[in-house]
Amino acid sequence: MLYFIDVPRRNFNSFRDSLLWQYATLAMADIAVSREDVEYGRLHYAVRSSLYAKFIGGDMQPRPLAVEEKLKLRLPACCAYCGGSKHLSIDHLIPLHRGGEDCGENYVLACRRCNSSKGCKDVVQWLAERGELPTIFLYRRYLKLCLEYARQQGLLELPLDQLPDNMPFAVESTMIHYGPPNRIKHWVVPCGNEPSDSEK
Ligand SMILES: [Zn+2]
């Protein structure tokens, strides 16, 4: 079974630093996928390092979840996991039973089959069981939800080994090896005009 955990990585001082590193990794992947690069190279790693430094230094921060909500309205209505368009219902990306919130930012559309197969599993782990990586748009929402949860719970400054066990998401899922870029898509179905950089 493929599981894409990328450990050991770096020695992060806090969960915040680890999440921001992964967010910078996601931005790197976004660029690579947009350019149709088949693997990461020096340019991509330089972009990630630069972004990460800006996040850590406070010069930049991930854009709010509202950006993902705007994007959701523009994407084709389909299952966020398989792209199917039949028997769609609302799924909680971070399951309610694990402590995910019952709010719009945590809603995605899912077909009946994916919804019942995913159940209460962490979405990244569930996809990994199927040999899949989350799409860029899905993973960006997921990471932002994790960041927001950690912020609300006061967990951001904790070292990774002091995080509680009962988190609504798998901490390992915020550390996956996200690539190679030719295995990643922006979204489950082609979505025409990609949003501009300012909307990410
Ligand atoms: Zn589906």
- pLDDT tens for 40-66 read 999 999 999 999 999 999 999 999 999
91 vs 95: CA distance, rounded Å: 8
Residue 9 pLDDT level (bands cut at 50, 70, 90): low
Residue 153 inside a domain? The answer is yes
CA of residue 100 relative to chain centroid, distance = 15
Number of domains into which the chain is organized: 1
Residue 1 inside a domain? The answer is no
Residue 4 inside a domain? The answer is no
Distance 86 CA to ligand 1 centre (A): 8
Counting Cβ atoms within 10 Å, is residue 12 exposed (0-12), middle (13-18) or buried (19+)? middle
18 vs 84: CA distance, rounded Å: 33
95 vs 121: CA distance, rounded Å: 7
Residue 200 inside a domain? The answer is no
Structure tokens at 69: 């909500």
pLDDT at 2: 45
Residue 170 inside a domain? The answer is yes
Distance 162 CA to ligand 1 centre (A): 35
- Average pLDDT of the residues of the chain: 91
180 vs 13: CA distance, rounded Å: 27
Residue 8 inside a domain? The answer is no
Residue 2 inside a domain? The answer is no
Which ranges constitute the DSSP H helices of 75-177?
A: 112-118, 123-129, 136-152
DSSP sequence for 83-106:
---SSEEEEESS-GGGT---SGGG
Distance 89 CA to ligand 1 centre (A): 10
Quick check: helix, strand or coil at residue 5? strand
Distance 113 CA to ligand 1 centre (A): 6
pLDDT at 11: 81
Query: Backbone phi, then psi, for 111, in 5-degree steps?
Result: -75, 165
Domain extent at residue 98: 15-194
Residue 133 inside a domain? The answer is yes
Distance 163 CA to ligand 1 centre (A): 32
Distance 184 CA to ligand 1 centre (A): 17
Distance 43 CA to ligand 1 centre (A): 35
Q: pTM of the full predicted structure?
A: 0.93
Distance 130 CA to ligand 1 centre (A): 12
